[in-house]
Amino acid sequence: MNLEDNRKPTGPRVLQGVKVLDFSCVISGPYCTRMMADLGAEVLKIEPPGGELLRAAPPHRNGASKLFSQLNAGKRCITLDLKSPTAIDVVKRLVADVDVVVENFSPGVMQRLGIDYPVLRECNERLIMCSISGFGQTGPDATRPAFAPIVQAWSGYDAVTLHYQPTIDKPLNMGLPVADNVASLQAFGAISAALFYREKTGVGQYIDIAMFDALLGTMQKDFQIILEPNTFDRIYGPIDTSDGFVLMMLISPRHFEALADLIGQPELKSDPRFSTTPQRLNHYAELMEIAAVWTATRTSSEVMEALKNSHIPVSQYRELAETIDDPQLLHRNMIAETTDAGGPLRVPNSPFLFSETQAAIAPWVAQIGEHNDTVFRDELGLDLKTLRAN
């Protein structure tokens, strides 16, 4: 069964027929709705008249933000000034015919605009609405301004990361927007579950996703360590070779025994520090020091080849650029192409592979307000001149 063939921009999809109204911007909401679009949902993105913030975010080429395009491919786009009463009336008309609303405004904004869940549910009692925020819709920190770097610092995520860097005593600079992406994934899963529940019961519902909550759930081991302090911990990190670094993991007895034989120290198998799995994990740093003596006299390529032949998990440290033409990703059709105002753009494809349906990024990205006429005039029957005047 060649599932890789099921990453095509046409064909049946699991969310085909699901309509989504997307008020979100930046990453946490748009990534969620992009995944829904990949699965066939009809996503209508609502932007302010000048376009959302991410359209201005680098990197650009030919005036188009590549970041925006990767996160918003396959969505129709309209513009509305939500401070206008006319625009709010349009939103209510749109909501009457959608399945899902996604937004990531600051808590309280949708209520002030007059389009929070209780109001929109009156327009559509089967509606599923998901709000994504930094700290949630209620509680003492609900209205606290929050972006991924703030949540990652406040949640302990950055401190946990620092604990695994023994030679560093200052929190690292913000790297990947982990809080945004984790919240996106949680929102995607929650919306899918709510759609399933609605299929069984006919009942829609409101979903409150907080980046703080979502990120906390990813720190499983470290959360338990603070509740039951344990002085032994494992650090999976680089060990020196003669020309660089590699990462190896010695988790199972088979991995450990294979390494002991490979480096010519079979006596390690009876060493009380390593003879059982609990002891081996408790003395993991010492085991890595022994392995590092062997790797230090060999090149990274030599270490990689030897460990792979012994079926020991190992990797070199690669640059992201090296993954673009990775044979495994190419085999799985994970590098795709979409087209925006700047031209063709290579992007990661949908991460889903289904046996019976397709899942793929759409080959197009809408420009600001590209679907205004289609939605306002053709689908809602509105007078465009009146709408623009407001």
Average pLDDT over residues 119-131: 98
Angle CA 31–29–71, to nearest 5: 30
Residues 212, 328 within the same domain: yes
Model confidence at 287: pLDDT above 70: yes
Provide the pLDDT confidence category of residue 5 given band limits of 50, 70 and 90: confident
Confirm if 47 and 39 have CB atoms less than 8 A apart: no
pLDDT of residue 4: 82
pLDDT of residue 26: 97
Q: Does a structural domain hold residue 227?
A: no
Number of domains in the chain: 2
Residues 206, 312 within the same domain: no
Q: Does a structural domain hold residue 228?
A: no
Q: Does a structural domain hold residue 234?
A: no
Residues 308, 334 within the same domain: no
Complete DSSP assignment for 66-109:
HHHHHHHTT-EEEE--TTSHHHHHHHHHHHTT-SEEEE-SPTTH
Model confidence at 308: pLDDT above 80: yes
Average pLDDT over residues 353-367: 97
Residues 135, 43 within the same domain: yes
Provide the pLDDT confidence category of residue 390 given band limits of 50, 70 and 90: low
Residues 293, 331 within the same domain: no
Provide the pLDDT confidence category of residue 9 given band limits of 50, 70 and 90: confident
Least confident of 25-39, 209-223, 297-311, 371-385: 371-385
Residues 77, 135 within the same domain: yes
Q: Does a structural domain hold residue 63?
A: yes
Provide the pLDDT confidence category of residue 1 given band limits of 50, 70 and 90: low
Provide the pLDDT confidence category of residue 383 given band limits of 50, 70 and 90: confident
**Residue-range definition of the domain harbouring residue 252:** 239-316
Model confidence at 343: pLDDT above 90: yes
Least confident of 7-11, 30-34, 178-182, 183-187: 7-11
Decide which of 297, 316, 335 is a domain's last residue: 316
Confirm if 314 and 248 have CB atoms less than 8 A apart: yes
Q: Does a structural domain hold residue 231?
A: no
Q: Does a structural domain hold residue 232?
A: no
Model confidence at 222: pLDDT above 80: yes
Confirm if 215 and 150 have CB atoms less than 8 A apart: no
Q: Does a structural domain hold residue 173?
A: yes
Q: How far apart are CA 267 and CA 249, in angstroms?
A: 20
Residues 244, 136 within the same domain: no
Residues 63, 183 within the same domain: yes
Model confidence at 300: pLDDT above 60: yes
Residues 13, 144 within the same domain: yes
Residues 50, 115 within the same domain: yes
Residues 305, 216 within the same domain: no
Q: Does a structural domain hold residue 245?
A: yes
pLDDT of residue 386: 65
% residues pLDDT > 90 (the chain): 91
The CATH number for 208's domain is 3.40.50.10540
pLDDT of residue 226: 87
Q: How far apart are CA 345 and CA 338, in angstroms?
A: 5
pLDDT of residue 37: 98
Residues 270, 128 within the same domain: no
Average pLDDT over residues 299-315: 97
Between 88 and 390, name the one with better pLDDT: 88
pLDDT of residue 389: 57
pLDDT of residue 225: 87
**Could you report the per-residue pLDDT of 247-257, keeping only the tens digit for each?**
999 989 999 99
The CATH number for 278's domain is 3.30.1540.10
pLDDT of residue 3: 84
Decide which of 316, 345, 367 is a domain's last residue: 316
Provide the pLDDT confidence category of residue 387 given band limits of 50, 70 and 90: confident
In whole angstroms, how far apart are CA 338 and each of 40, 333, 363? 16, 13, 4
**Could you report the per-residue pLDDT of 233-243, keeping only the tens digit for each?**
789 999 999 99
Decide which of 269, 288, 316 is a domain's last residue: 316
Confirm if 355 and 1 have CB atoms less than 8 A apart: yes
Model confidence at 378: pLDDT above 80: yes
Between 13 and 251, name the one with better pLDDT: 13
- Rounded to an integer, what is the distance from CA 17 to the centroid of its chain? 24
DSSP state of 374: I
pTM for this structure? 0.95
3-state class percentages of the chain: helix first, strand second, coil last, to nearest 5: 45, 15, 45
**In 3-state terms, what secondary structure has residue 18?**
coil
